[in-house]
Amino acid sequence: MRIPVQPPSRQFIIGDNPYYRDNRATHVVRIPPSPQKTMIVQIYEVQNPEEAKKLIEVGVDFIGVLVGKEVDPRGLDDDRVKEIFNSLPSETTKVALTLSSDLRRISELVEKVNPDILQLGISTESLLPDSVKKIKEKYPQIKIMRTIPVIDEKSVGLAKKYEGIADFLILDSRKKGDFQIGATGETHNWTISKKIVNSVSMPVILAGGLGPENVEAAIKEVMPAGVDSKTKTDLPDGNGKDIEKVKEFVRIAKSF
C-alpha cells in the first residue's frame, strides 16, 4: 500500500494551470489545497515534434529542449527548437534549457524560440544572480528556472540567493569541474535538497538520476513541486526518449 504524502499547500500558476507544492518554511503563507494539485513532471531532452507529442500523451507537463549546439553538441539550433515549440498545444509548458553564460546569446534564443520557461543550466560561477536578474527584468513574461548544484550545505545558501529572482529552482547533480549542472545520470544528497525545498518560497523541481525505479523514494524524501528526468528515461543509446519508461515515471510521480 502506498503511503500518502501530505498534500501540498502553496499554489503557483503556469499559463492557466494551477500547481501546488509543500513548503514547511514558516514565512510562507499557506493556502488551502485543491483537487487540481499535481506533481509537475518535466522531461529532457526532446528531439523533435513527434517525440514531444508522445510525451504529452503520457502526461508530461513540461517539455524540455536543450538549445545551442555552440555550447553542447547535444543542443538543437534555434530554428529546430522553434519548430518543436510551435507544433505543441498552447497549454503545453515549453522549457528551453541553455548552457550559455552570454547574455546576448541568451536574449537571442529567448526572442527566437519564445519559451514559457527559460532554464539556466550553466554553472553558478559562470552566471551569477545579478545576471539572472537582468534576464528576468528584460523578459518579465518568461519564467526563469535556475539550476542549483546540490553538493553540500553551501548549496542551501546558494539557492536562497535566487529568492525574488528565479521563478523556479531545479536541483541537480554536478560532476566536479564540469561547466554545466546536470545530465550526469547520478543522484545527489536528497537531505540537502529537502532543506532547500523548505528554505525557499519558489517551487522546486528535483532532478539528478531520477527514473521510474527511484522517483517514488525521491518524492517522499524531498517533497518537491515537481520531478525531472533525462538520462534514466533515455533510450539505451541515448538518442531519444523511452516512452514506456517516461509513462511509468509519470504514473508514479502523479500518484502523489
The ranges assigned to domains in the chain are 40-253
Q: What is the pLDDT of residue 72?
A: 79
pTM of the predicted model as reported, rounded to 2 decimal places: 0.85
Domain 40-253 grouped into CATH 3.20.20.70 = yes
* Mean pLDDT per 10-residue section of the chain, whose length is 256 residues: 39 51 37 57 96 97 93 88 95 95 96 97 92 97 96 94 97 71 76 96 95 97 96 91 98 95
Output the pLDDT for position 8.
Answer: 42
Position 213 scores a pLDDT of 97
Measure the CA angle with vertex 109, ends 104 and 110; round to 5°: 95
Q: What is the pLDDT of residue 70?
A: 80
pLDDT at residue 187, as a whole number = 82
